[in-house]
Amino acid sequence: QGHCAFTMNLERLPNEEKLTLCRKYYLGGFALLPFLWFVNVVWFFKEAFIKPPFTEQTQIKSYVKRSALGLLFWVSVLTTWITIYQHFRAQWGE
């Protein structure tokens, strides 16, 4: 069946599944979804950096870092665009 239901409490997930989830969120963000990356970073931050090391932690760390990078990229792009737009709005006409 379609969905597998399991808890969203990360505590309860086995590590492999955490990794899979992190990875999926990371990959999904490439579909023009910086928000997804943001969620990924926030959600897995504790897992990646605060918790004592476990096997998959390095990989999760890398995904979180990459998501953060992607997020930064998008934020800068959008900010630049909005600034340009706001600035030239009058000239371009609404």
Partner 1 sequence: MQVSLANESPTPSNEAPSAFCQKDQQQLNTSPEAIQQPQEAPATRARSRGGSGDEGAGDGSGPEPNGQPPAAPPARVVENEEEEDEEMTLKYGAKHVIMLFVPVTLCMVVVVATIKSVSFYTKNDGQRLIYTPFPEETDTVAQRAVNSILNATIMITVIIVMTLVLVLLYKYRCYKVIQGWLFLSSLLLLFFFSFIYLHGFPCLRRSLPLPDVRALSVREVFKTYNVAMDYFTLAIVVWNFGVVGMICIHWKGPLRLQQAYLIMISALMALVFIKYLPEWTAWLILAVISVYDLLAVLCPKGPLRILVETAQERNEPIFPALIYSSTMVWLVNMADTDRPKRNSTEASPPQQQTQDSAVESPAPSSPSQDDGGFTSSWVSQQEHRLGQLQSTEETRREIQQMPSARPPVEDDDEERGVKLGLGDFIFYSMLVGKASATASGDWNTTLACFVAILI
Following CA atoms 13, 18, 20, 25 in sequence, which dihedral angle do they give, to the nearest 10 degrees?
Answer: 120
Candidates 79, 80, 67; CA nearest to 30 is 67
Judged by beta carbon, residue 43 or residue 63, the one nearer partner 1 is 43
Residue 45: both structure tokens together? 């931050």
Say how far apart CA 77 and CA 59 lie, in whole Å: 27
**Torsion angles phi and psi, residue 73, rounded to 5:** -55, -50
Residues of this chain that interact with partner 1 (CB under 8 A) are 1-9, 11-12, 21, 28, 31-36, 39, 42-43, 78, 81-82, 85-86, 89, 94
Give the shortest CB-52-to-partner 1 separation in angstroms. 16
Give the shortest CB-61-to-partner 1 separation in angstroms. 18
Judged by beta carbon, residue 53 or residue 86, the one nearer partner 1 is 86
Give the shortest CB-62-to-partner 1 separation in angstroms. 20
